[in-house]
Amino acid sequence: MRILIVNTSENTGGAAVAANRLMVALNNNGEKAKMLVRDKQTENISVIAMPQGWHQQWNFLWERWCIFWRMHFSRKHLFEVDIANAGWDITKTPEFQEADVIHLHWVNQGMLSLKGIRKILRSGKPVVWTMHDLWPATAICHYARGCQYYKTRCGHCQLLPGGGSKNDLSVQIWNRKASMLRAGNIFFVTCSKWLEGEARQSALLKGQQVTTIPNAIDTRVFRPMDKKEARRKMGLPEQGNIILFVSQRVTDERKGISYLIEAVKHLVADDPSLQENTSIAILGGHAEEVAHQLCLPVHALGYVNDEQTIVSVYNAADVFVTPSLEDNLPNTIMESLACGVPCVGFAVGGIPEMIDHKKNGYVAACRQSDDLAKGLRWVLLEADKESLHQQALHKVSLNYSQSRVALRYVEVYHQVIAQKQFML
């Protein structure tokens, strides 16, 4: 079977990493998968880039300009919404024409327009769309932030100036998406049961098929290694506890760094001796902007894109903390667990599906920094470390292995192909 995976980037961002790993998993399982991207970053011959040039930048810039104008020239939420008014026509590519299934992933910021997706649907090709956030089920936002309008019809968007109106930009894009979906059926896949539940409540996706398949991870790459060796490689202290925090942009409010800062204050207040033997490693950009607010020593590792280095970072840690306020099925938790490192996070999104409370980590009450601190303390000072390690590895083997995820997707591909043939 020939599958064409479509994503904006080859490697940048969680969706890109997940899509790339799925391509590898499918090919390892005997299928013929390729990836079509706007931004190619490696020499992988299975990844095809759209033609480079002015058109590539134009799609991105034109969409941002239109949003900027509708935001009354405010940058506040400029990159939190997408309207997909510009993008490539991928139906003309040889890869599209030879594919048996078109598998969309994160296709925003100038990769595909709504018009382009409508053309894909009208081509007659079976289409699967993996949702890495809520955008396919809403008008313009990727995370609802408590808004309920998408369950009936978007409007009065909180991300627009003045809270929007009954005929604002979100209404216009909602209508365009509804029209697009009338062009043909899409089989939607979510990475977490939480997101599946949210998607099923969307009025936009009423009547569409939705199921859950988690992301895959290559356990030959993400695996346990000697902790001291990992710390030496990363220039981290060989002795003492290390708490790891990872975010592409550390200052992203959604990733909850402010709650980690408060949790560390609680942790140190309860046990001041931790200041002598515990530090925090931060993997991601802009760490220097928050380091001074954490009352434990901080090791700013910067933004890293090399997998082997990332594996060493996880293995250097005693616990991985993810205080995200909204998240689907974070690759970071999966990566940490695959390295045998327990995780602590809030009970939001798909996180409780990954962290089994007091088995492979600790699930803290949402936005409760004192409970986050309690979880960190439990992992570092109270829990059976070997049991946590083994439970972490077992969780990944049981749920996120390449072969298991690939087989589940192959079942979906066969199902959509059969449905398409039946309709013909």
- Per residue in 145-187, pLDDT tens? 889 999 999 999 999 998 889 899 999 999 999 999 998 889 9
Provide the mean pLDDT of the chain: 95
Does the structure show a pLDDT above 70 at 424?
A: no
Q: 129-161: b or e for each residue (b if 16 or more CB lie within 10 Å)?
A: bbbbbbbbbbbbbbbbeebebbbeebbbbebbb
In which residue are the tokens 């991300």 written? 159
pLDDT band at 356 (very low <50, low <70, confident <90, very high): very high
Task: Quickly tell me which residue has 């997101």 as its tokens.
Answer: 195
Q: What is the pLDDT of residue 51?
A: 87
Residue 185: predicted pLDDT: 86
| pLDDT exceeds 70 at position 322 | yes
Per-residue model confidence as pLDDT tens digits over 193-226: 999 999 999 999 999 999 999 999 999 999 999 9
Q: Looking at per-residue confidence, does 146 or 376 come out higher?
A: 376
Phi, psi at residue 329, to the nearest 5°? -140, 85
Is 378 a residue whose pLDDT tops 70?
yes
- Which tokens hold the place of 85? 């008014």
Stretch 339-348: mean pLDDT: 98
Q: Say what the pLDDT of residue 34 is.
A: 98
Residue of 301, 295, 296 whose CA lies nearest to 314: 301
Structure tokens at 362: 């600790």
Read off the pLDDT of each residue in 30-52 and give the average, rounded to a whole number: 95
Helix (H) or strand (E) holding 197: helix 193-200
Highest mean pLDDT among 49-63, 157-171, 354-368: 354-368
pLDDT of residue 423: 65
- Judged by DSSP in three states, 38 sits in strand
Q: Which residues contact 306 (CB under 8 A, 6 or more apart)?
A: none
* Dihedral of alpha carbons 278, 283, 288, 294, sign: negative
Query: From the centroid of its chain, how far is CA 255?
Result: 12
pLDDT the model gives residue 420: 77
At 294, the amino acid letter reads L
What percent of the chain has a predicted confidence (pLDDT) above 90? 89
Q: What angle do CA 54, 57, 61 make, to 5 degrees?
A: 130
- How does residue 52 score in pLDDT terms, banded at 50, 70 and 90? confident
For residues 15-19, average pLDDT: 95
pLDDT at 109: 95
Amino acid at 347: A
